[in-house]
Structure 1
Amino acid sequence: MDEQRAILETYFPIASLITSIVGPKCEVVIHDIFNPEQSVIYLTNGHISGRKVGDGATDLVLKLLKGNLNQDQPFIANYIAEGPNGQKFRSSTYFIRNHKGELIGLMCINIDITQMKIAEEWIQHLLYGDSSVTPQVKEDPPEEKQVTEYLQGNVEDLLRHMIKTVLGKLDVTKDRLTSHEKQELVKALNNQGVFLLKGGVSEVARSLGISEPTVYRYLQKLK
């Protein structure tokens, strides 16, 4: 067993402890970040998100690998994640490092708050009804500063989700995109870590209506 795997395995009992304390609505996942297509090496209560050992990385893991999130902090806490069936999670991620301080893995804690959100809406309705008097809600921070995650272990589904999210911000359909706009989309998808996954190039090519060599040519221009 190599040193990296040994370090990651020391967190397995901690993951089980957290689940035992928080309860059945809590999933804890250990990711090996150097194997994005099979990054999940341990998890508890995987039925919550539908994942299992051997499943792939999430979009958050890919963003970390691309350096798009601050890795100097010890953890990121209390962000919202979404499951494949629309579940809502309150999530936190602890950065696991080796003895040199290098990031080697993640311990992700996901608490299913789907039913709590429904209860919250019901309570708000009971308190304020349909009147014009509504509670003051704290505004969310700008979108680019929010941490979000899509809890999906299936690589193909994750790719489609990430590509759909980026394309969903466009005002035009893919058949009306200019060559420059397609290059910018490839750049944006690259920054999201889409091309770290096997099949990323072919899925992007299909989604943009271009050939795989064209995607590779766009990527080459980014270097």
Structure 2
Amino acid sequence: MPRRGSSEDERDAIIAALTPVIDGIVATLGTFCEVVVHDFRRPDRSVVAIAGSVTGRGVGGSMSEIGMGILSQGDEAADELNYVTRTQDGKLIKSSTMVLRDSGGAVFGALCVNLDITAITQAHTMIGQLAGLAGGQAAVPTTTFGDDIDAVVASVVDAYQLGQGKPWGELSRGERLELFRSLDERGVFAVRRAMPQVAARLGISRASAYTYLSQARTGSDLSEEQQA
């Protein structure tokens, strides 16, 4: 039988082994590359090692909503490879997120590689225009990267409401449930501090927020008095 705490020791050892590796990856790929080690045991400040500077985060920074989605999947999480997002300041980022598992198969973190492909994309567009082959560019989702998990949560909530085109007070009961269902599926509530932040962002009480989440998860309707 493994001694108590051996799993934590193993996870600590994996993270410690990766820390010097990420510096080598960035040194090889160049200044447009960033590599991040996330420890899901501390989701509010999951960045435990970082090399390069593409997203502007530092050690102690938070995961993005992509990381929250992986966190919410638990041990069923799979690698997310070669996806493209846009930062709030307009950078195009090509990323791959590889989950970290201990010897028992439990997911406890992630290794993320972020490449700033803004200049490459601009050059590709210019060459296409010169060749007369330019076409419409597919929409790229915007992702919030930052050191503050509250800012990430707020961005996810705001993006949903912006997509609906109306504030919380004008959403129907079904739309409110769908909002909480969507936030839950994206892993927002896997972060410990998320619920108070979501409630404050929507202007509702924490009790109401917990009720909406419970109803969204069970698929049942809310009574009229629970809609405040």
Q: Quote the residue 2:86 is aligned against.
A: 82
State yes or no: 1:63 paired with 2:69: yes
Structure-2 separation of matches of 1:68 and 1:97: 11
Select between 95-104 and 202-211 the one with higher mean Cα deviation: 202-211
For residues 1-223 of structure 1, the aligned pairs below 5 Å read 2-46=9-53, 48-67=54-73, 71-72=77-78, 75-128=79-132, 134=133, 150-221=144-215, 222=217
Contact 2:86–2:141 (Cα < 8 Å) also in 1: no
Contact 1:79–1:147 (Cα < 8 Å) also in 2: no
Classify the secondary structure of the residue corresponding to 1:57.
coil
Displacement of 1:178 after TM fit? 2.2
Contact 1:31–1:41 (Cα < 8 Å) also in 2: yes
Structure-2 separation of matches of 1:177 and 1:147: 23
Contact 1:81–1:151 (Cα < 8 Å) also in 2: no
> Which amino acid letter does the alignment assign opposite residue 50 of structure 1?
G
Structure-2 separation of matches of 1:158 and 1:136: 32
> Which amino acid letter does the alignment assign opposite residue 58 of structure 1?
S
Classify the secondary structure of the residue corresponding to 1:210.
coil
> Which amino acid letter does the alignment assign opposite residue 107 of structure 1?
L
- Change in CA separation of 1:82 and 1:170 when aligned onto 2, cut-off 3 Å: same
Gaps of 5+ in 2: 1-7, 219-228
Classify the secondary structure of the residue corresponding to 2:163.
coil
Displacement of 1:148 after TM fit? 8.1
Structure-2 separation of matches of 1:123 and 1:70: 42
Displacement of 1:13 after TM fit? 2.2
The two structures have a TM-score, normalised by structure 1, of: 0.82
Cα shift readout 1:3-38 (whole Å, capped 9, x = no counterpart)? 211111111122112111101111000000121101
Point out 4+ residue stretches in structure 1 off by more than 4 angstroms.
146-149
